[in-house]
Structure 1
């Protein structure tokens, strides 16, 4: 099983999830370009396509011919890209708060400009201030319901390099991603798209993906927002394990 983290995260984000699987699977978690220890890479790596090449190269180096994908947010977008572009390498797809991108060019350009402004904020060097502002976005409002959760996230994210994060945001942000919506009907593997009930935007996106891609099923988790894994870890683990068992992947 290959785990792909979201923006600002790292491979360490998946430690608890991997433990909850009880050793039934070989698990691989990577640091995506600009995150954790994946620093100073060639410029072409800081794109969705470049990150996909890096992931495939890693799997080749480990002798993994085929595996399951599990991705959150930015990592979910990358997971979907890999599943659609390299279907022979992956057996199933588990998405958390993920999107196929923005289909409207004007909306994509507006998002690219917003990502560029955030990248410039990061380059000013005040990573803690950036993180505090990031987690005050409405998208993450439900995180404040659990005491200490945002503080813990900020402390863990401070291990990242802000200039590297800026490179990743410029190259891998939603504004730079080519839309995958039209490719969705070609998805040919078992897939589950999970979103939190309190994250109405991504819950709606999951249902729309379900409508367009018959192998994909959408599940909305009560009491969770954008980060289902942190806000409802038990429900998240049950969904992941249940998905694997239903798909005959054990």
Structure 2
């Protein structure tokens, strides 16, 4: 569907007027990020999945401005309007979680409940933002040089060596996940990281106290960095609860799908 500067690749599955969940994948993910979790949720919910700009088959028809969080968020709101989705639940993972938090704080009228998996409000301190921009630019350059698939595969192997991912490489489905990641275009991922990375996005820390939407923060027990971040978020952000999921690092819905689904079902089924 073409909406101004985006040609979104999406899938909307309506299930007997069941409430809709929109799923936002993480960096290097795609429309299939939550497939296993959706299989376990599909009896009780409808769902909308999509490739975020820079990922999968979604096309950005404008300049670099349209890879930025503010523009992507508005594009998603426009998509919801076109699909006549007035209100829905929202789930976002990592980069998709940062985007989901932005949507929650700036467009709260569209969302019933929100679950953020391994997400953050960005960086509050200017020096930290500049350093993160510098680091992300280095990573983006490596992506842009991944001309052949073996280069991209080597990049992904290094990416998942990061401590936040815990023991993800030991997962029996790790190779399948990497194969899905390899369907992305590294040159497009380069743009996404440069313009919607943690250092580039607007800091949402000061706006957290304005939250009015019930929110669930999910973090993996091996992801100490995001346990710390989300603990601080929960202190500031009203209507928010935090759950630490066992046997998982940063990518909870992949490493411990059952626990992820159980927590999502419980959270979404409880009356506000």
**TM-score bin, normalised by smaller chain:** over 0.9
Q: For 2:69 and 2:90, how far apart are their aligned partners in 1?
A: 15
SS for the counterpart of 1:169 is helix
The CA deviation at 1:40 is 4.0
Runs of 4+ aligned residues of structure 1 deviating over 4 Å after TM superposition are: none
What is the CA–CA distance in structure 2 between the aligned matches of 1:54 and 1:207, rounded to whole Å? 30
* Aligned residue among 1, 9, 21 for 2:41: 21
| Residues 127-171 of structure 1: CA deviation (Å, up to 9, x unaligned) | 12211111112222320232341x222211110011100010111
Partner of 2:16: none
Matched, 1:145 2:166: no
Equivalent pair of 2:54/2:192 in contact (CA under 8 Å):
yes
> Structure 2 residue aligned with 1:195, among 216, 219, 226?
219
The structure carrying a bigger strand percent of its residues is 2
Aligned twin of 1:69: 90
- How far apart, CA to CA, are the structure 2 residues paired with 1:132 and 1:79? 27
Partner in structure 2 of residue 136 of structure 1 = 161
Q: What residue in structure 1 maps to residue 28 of structure 2?
A: 8
Are the counterparts in 1 of residues 160 and 169 from structure 2 also a CA contact under 8 Å? Answer: no
Tell me the equivalent position of 1:101.
122
Whether 1:121 and 2:129 are equivalent positions in the alignment is no
Across the aligned residues of Structure 1 and Structure 2, the Cα RMSD in angstroms comes to: 1.2
Is the 1:190–1:247 Cα contact (8 Å) retained in structure 2? Answer: no
CA distance in 1, matches of 2:173, 2:270: 35
Task: Give the number of aligned pairs.
Answer: 247
Q: Which residues of structure 2 form unaligned runs of 5+?
A: 1-20
Decide whether the 8 Å contact of 1:48 with 1:177 is kept in 2: yes
Where does residue 162 of structure 1 map in the other structure? 186
In structure 2, C-alpha distance between the alignment counterparts of 1:143 and 1:91, rounded to whole Å: 32
Whether contact under 8 Å (2:164, 2:223) holds in the other structure is yes
Q: Which runs of 5+ in 1 are unaligned?
A: none
Kept in 2, the 8 Å contact 1:33–1:41? The answer is no
